[in-house]
Amino acid sequence: MAGIAFGRFDDSFSLSSIKAYIAEFISTLLFVFAGVGSAIAYAKLTSDAALDPAGLVAVAICHGFALFVAVSVGANISGGHVNPAVTFGLALGGQITILTGIFYVIAQLLGSIVACLLLKFITGFTTPIHSVAAGVGAGEGVVTEIIITFGLVYTVYATAADPKKGSLGTIAPIAIGFIVGANILAAGPFSGGSMNPARSFGPAVVSGDFHDNWIYWVGPLVGGGLAGLIYTYAFIPTQHAPLATEF
């Protein structure tokens, strides 16, 4: 079992690493463009910025489908993180170095910002941001985001990062897309169902509205980090050389 590692600059700036950053940028751009775009499209079609139950289902399905594709197209190059909380959880579990993870996060944030800029240019609509619903406190929003992001990163570990996954790895993008769609259905009316700091940061930058944005950093990073630590130390076996008394 790998431990947390800071990493080396020469490794983080190798050709393969740079390709991974580009892949994360593109995958996050595709995901955020479709996800935020679905909310904008719903507002245009209904002339109503507030989602009703049908709109919530449509947005959840769009996010699930888009993430399935974004993870799939990036999997063989960068691992298809598409989410700073996933990168953070994998770094705490020793699956990626801290230094490389920082560049992943930068690429993801840039991809999200560019996606939202493109949407604003194409549609002319105000970019919708994540915020907690009326009657939901900031603390409740943070806890909700911790729980649903824990579920997401736990799923990433179980289906993609665990060396025992076997053939289960082939359906990892589907499972990851499903858990995101399901969590949006469950948490969307309360915290917004982000699970992804990049997904929330891009719209905040383009709209200039950072109200409640800290919730979508604290909650997902805590939830993703907990999932990474718990899955790594509870379920991924430690490899060691046999002791002299072992046969």
Task: State how far the Cα of 186 lies from the Cα of 171, in Å rounded to an integer.
Answer: 23
Q: Residue 245 pLDDT more than 60?
A: no
Q: How confident is the model at residue 50 (pLDDT cuts 50, 70, 90)?
A: low
Average pLDDT over residues 107-135: 96
Please check whether residue 128 lies inside any domain of the structure: yes
Domain that holds residue 114: 9-235
Please check whether residue 243 lies inside any domain of the structure: no
Average pLDDT, the chain: 93
Task: Report the share of the chain in percent with pLDDT over 70.
Answer: 94
How many domains does the chain fold into? 1
Q: How confident is the model at residue 247 (pLDDT cuts 50, 70, 90)?
A: very low
67-110 confidence digits (pLDDT tens): 999 999 999 999 999 999 999 999 999 999 999 999 999 999 99
Please check whether residue 38 lies inside any domain of the structure: yes
- CATH number of domain containing 128: 1.20.1080.10
Task: State how far the Cα of 32 lies from the Cα of 59, in Å rounded to an integer.
Answer: 12
Average pLDDT over residues 146-157: 98
Task: State how far the Cα of 107 lies from the Cα of 97, in Å rounded to an integer.
Answer: 15
